[in-house]
């Protein structure tokens, strides 16, 4: 038997998706197997996988002229996710599959006919559901992801199982839609950190308004601990943000099959030896990097001065634009990358500068070189820079109760609600026009800011950033106006 069959698959470029019709024509003529429609090398190699998978699943690979067209044909198709659709279309066109396939089919095939998971099933399934295709056939490990996208996802572990399900001989039940996950437990609670009232306050402001924060202090004073406490006071993800962040994780291949939707804002902490590629993303096919995995959450760069200045320089675009564009060989992919930056570093190479207990032994130009590793443009985008001093012995000894994260989080949530009511996600995203509208200063505040701009030669960017922080400080105090003391705190925290 010969004929044409069509099965729906979905292409992925960066986070962008497009439904692809896999058309297969099986006709008489010299036996052959061609894939057209701009396949990349992984898609061209599908021929070998599909041929072996069909044979090893007990079907017959037609000894005819087989043409596979991936339509629309004008854009390059990447990856191994088309295997399942191609195999099913061949089986249908050659009469070995009895019914037409109306589901989205996404999966890689092993030579033995196993269906393997691929990256990006969440956005692909979402795209199909949006286009009115409710069903999806995917690998078992991808089923929860597809279900989370609202798909009636059927987990097929083998090509045989897929055919049996479609023919109706062995019907499989759709995967359950994953439940809305509970709030996770936090690793570090603010209540367990002794002293450090100013850094804690800065952390609260950062969490409330989404402002970037740098912690500077000698080793062992709790900088890493403070940063790790940030997730415990961040506002929860709303549904859209949870989906956006989960899509990035899906495309990176980092979905937990048991819990496909992110339940808390991501907190990414790449090591200072991280490459540019792992930080901002890229590769073939391109994958999102740490800045995108941190989207909607926080990026923690511990030991900031140890990162290569070239790697740090790539943070400028995401910090400014909230996204990152990765170009390669004529195409480019844009990934979201809106995160709060939290960084920690020692004040100098020996770490003792400014520490009252022990004198610093660094030579002045060693200190300059050390600080020079953090570029001006990067520093300019860090709104809160606070010193984390050594905690006195008596404070460490006394077991007095400290404010818990849950109490701080309550204030953060109140402040966030005020921001949302003004129509913005977080104060860090206020535009200069928004600032004029929502950040009117009283006389004394105006005078203070005027003087600071002059004395500290602040850039226009710094000026706007200070106003945003002052707005957050006012919001934490449930104050409609921005007063002089709010502004003074904002200036002090940027010292
Ligand atoms: N302020 C603090 N309160 C409670 N424990 C602290 C504090 N500072 C440091 N510690 C203890 O010291 C350890 C090292 O702290 P860490 O956050 O790694 O310091 P840093 O990053 O500043 O070098 C922590 O795991 C914790 O046990
Ligand atoms: Mg540390």
Question: Cβ(272)–Cβ(141) under 8 Å?
Answer: no
Check if 193 has its Cβ closer than 6 Å to any atom of ligand 1: yes
85/12 Cα distance (integer angstroms) = 15
Ligand 1 atom closest to 195 (CA): 1
Which has the closest alpha carbon to 90: 168, 11, 162?
A: 162
Phi, psi of 398 (to 5 degrees): -75, 135
CA distances from 275 to 281, 307, 312 (A): 9, 9, 10
Is the omega angle on the peptide bond into residue 158 within 30 degrees of 0, that is, cis? no
459/234 Cα distance (integer angstroms) = 29
Check if 225 has its Cβ closer than 6 Å to any atom of ligand 1: yes
How many angstroms separate the alpha carbon of residue 226 from the centre of ligand 1?
8
Which has the closest alpha carbon to 388: 214, 210, 207?
A: 214
How many angstroms separate the alpha carbon of residue 393 from the centre of ligand 1?
13
Structure tokens at 148: 């989370």
Dihedral-angle region of residue 404 (phi above 0 means left; psi in -120 to 50 means alpha; beta otherwise): beta
Ligand 1 atom closest to 344 (CA): 21
Check if 481 has its Cβ closer than 6 Å to any atom of ligand 1: no
Dihedral-angle region of residue 206 (phi above 0 means left; psi in -120 to 50 means alpha; beta otherwise): alpha
Q: What is the pLDDT of residue 181?
A: 65
How many angstroms separate the alpha carbon of residue 223 from the centre of ligand 1?
7
Check if 196 has its Cβ closer than 6 Å to any atom of ligand 1: yes
Check if 340 has its Cβ closer than 6 Å to any atom of ligand 1: no
Helix (H) or strand (E) holding 13: strand 3-13
Check if 195 has its Cβ closer than 6 Å to any atom of ligand 1: yes
How many angstroms separate the alpha carbon of residue 225 from the centre of ligand 1?
6
Which has the closest alpha carbon to 231: 186, 174, 296, 270?
A: 186
Check if 219 has its Cβ closer than 6 Å to any atom of ligand 1: yes
Burial of 413 (0-12, 13-18, 19+ CB in 10 A): middle
**Best of 190, 220, 305 to mutate for ligand 1, by most ligand atoms within 8 A of CB?**
220
For the chain, the straight-line distance linking the first and the last C-alpha, in angstroms and rounded, comes to 78
Which has the closest alpha carbon to 106: 55, 53, 61, 145?
A: 145
CA torsion, ordered 93, 94, 99, 101, to nearest 10 deg: -40
Within 8 A by CB and 6+ apart from 318, the residues are: 280, 291, 324, 337, 338, 339
Check if 392 has its Cβ closer than 6 Å to any atom of ligand 1: no
DSSP state of 429: G
Q: What is the pLDDT of residue 6?
A: 97
- Coil, helix or strand at residue 303: coil
How many angstroms separate the alpha carbon of residue 189 from the centre of ligand 1?
13
CA distances from 371 to 308, 317, 414 (A): 13, 21, 37
Which has the closest alpha carbon to 353: 366, 338, 337, 344?
A: 366
Structure tokens at 490: 């904002």
Check if 223 has its Cβ closer than 6 Å to any atom of ligand 1: yes
Structure tokens at 221: 């004073």
| pTM of the complete model | 0.92
Question: Cβ(306)–Cβ(272) under 8 Å?
Answer: yes
Structure tokens at 493: 């925290």
Beta bridge partners of 106: 138
Question: Cβ(324)–Cβ(335) under 8 Å?
Answer: yes
Q: What is the pLDDT along the chain (495 residues), one digit of tens a residue?
A: 558 999 999 999 889 999 999 999 999 989 999 999 888 888 888 999 999 999 999 999 999 999 999 999 888 888 899 999 999 999 999 999 999 999 999 999 999 999 999 999 999 999 999 999 999 999 999 999 999 999 999 999 999 999 999 999 999 999 888 776 666 778 899 998 988 999 999 999 999 999 999 999 999 899 999 999 999 999 999 889 999 999 999 999 999 888 889 989 999 999 999 999 999 998 877 889 999 999 999 999 999 999 999 999 999 999 999 999 988 766 778 899 999 999 999 998 888 887 767 788 888 888 888 888 888 889 989 999 999 998 887 777 776 668 999 999 999 999 999 999 999 899 999 998 999 888 888 888 889 988 988 888 888 888 899 999 999 999 999 999 899 999 999 999 988
How many angstroms separate the alpha carbon of residue 344 from the centre of ligand 1?
12
- Coil, helix or strand at residue 152: strand
> Which residues are placed with Cβ below 5 angstroms of ligand 2, an ion?
223-224
Is the omega angle on the peptide bond into residue 285 within 30 degrees of 0, that is, cis? yes
């Amino acid at each position: 038997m010969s004929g044409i069959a069509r099965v729906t698959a979905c292409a992925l470029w960066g986070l962008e998706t497009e439904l692809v019709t896999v058309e297969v024509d099986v006709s008489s003529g010299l036996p052959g197997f061609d894939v057209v429609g701009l396949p990349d090398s992984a898609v061209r190699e599908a021929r070998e996988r599909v041929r072996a998978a069909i044979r090893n699943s007990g079907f017959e690979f037609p000894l005819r002229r087989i043409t596979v067209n991936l339509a629309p044909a004008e854009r390059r198709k990447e990856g191994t996710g088309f295997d399942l659709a191609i195999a099913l279309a061949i089986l249908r066109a050659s009469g070995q599959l009895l019914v037409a396939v109306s589901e989205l089919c996404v999966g890689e095939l092993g030579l033995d006919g196993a269906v393997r998971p691929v990256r990006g099933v969440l956005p692909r399934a979402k795209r199909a559901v949006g286009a009115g295709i409710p069903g999806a056939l995917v690998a078992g490990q991808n089923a929860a992801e597809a279900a989370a996208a609202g798909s009636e996802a059927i987990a097929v572990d083998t090509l045989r199982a897929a055919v049996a399900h479609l023919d109706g001989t062995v019907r499989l039940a759709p995967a359950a839609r994953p439940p809305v996950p509970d709030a996770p437990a936090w690793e570090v609670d603010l209540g367990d950190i002794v002293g450090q009232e100013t850094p804690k306050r800065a952390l609260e402001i950062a969490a409330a308004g989404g402002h970037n924060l740098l912690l500077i202090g000698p080793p062992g004073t709790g900088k890493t601990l403070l940063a790790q406490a940030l997730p415990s006071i961040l506002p929860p993800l709303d549904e859209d943000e949870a989906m956006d962040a989960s899509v990035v994780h899906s495309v990176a291949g980092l979905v937990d099959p048991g819990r496909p939707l992110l339940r808390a804002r991501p907190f990414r902490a790449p090591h200072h030896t991280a490459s540019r590629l792992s930080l901002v993303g890229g590769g073939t096919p391109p994958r999102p990097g740490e800045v995108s995995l941190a989207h909607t959450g926080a990026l923690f760069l511990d030991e900031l001065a140890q990162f290569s200045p070239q790697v740090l320089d790539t943070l400028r675009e995401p910090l400014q634009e909230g996204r990152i564009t990765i170009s390669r060989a004529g195409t480019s992919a844009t990934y979201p990358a809106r995160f709060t930056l939290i960084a920690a570093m020692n004040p100098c190479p020996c770490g003792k500068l400014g520490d009252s207990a022990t004198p610093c032994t660094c030579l002045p130009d060693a200190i300059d070189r050390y600080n020079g590793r953090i570029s001006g443009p990067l520093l300019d985008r860090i709104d809160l820079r606070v010193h984390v001093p050594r905690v006195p012995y008596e404070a460490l000894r006394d077991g007095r109760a400290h404010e818990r994260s849950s109490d701080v989080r309550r204030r953060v949530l109140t402040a966030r609600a005020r921001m949302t009511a003004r129509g913005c996600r977080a104060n860090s995203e206020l535009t200069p026009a928004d600032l004029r509208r929502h950040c009117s200063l009283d006389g004394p505040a105006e005078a203070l800011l005027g003087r600071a701009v002059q004395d500290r030669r602040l850039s226009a960017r710094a000026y706007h950033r200070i106003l945003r922080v002052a707005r957050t400080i006012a919001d934490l105090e449930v104050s409609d106006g921005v007063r002089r003391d709010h502004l003074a705190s904002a200036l002090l925290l940027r010292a």
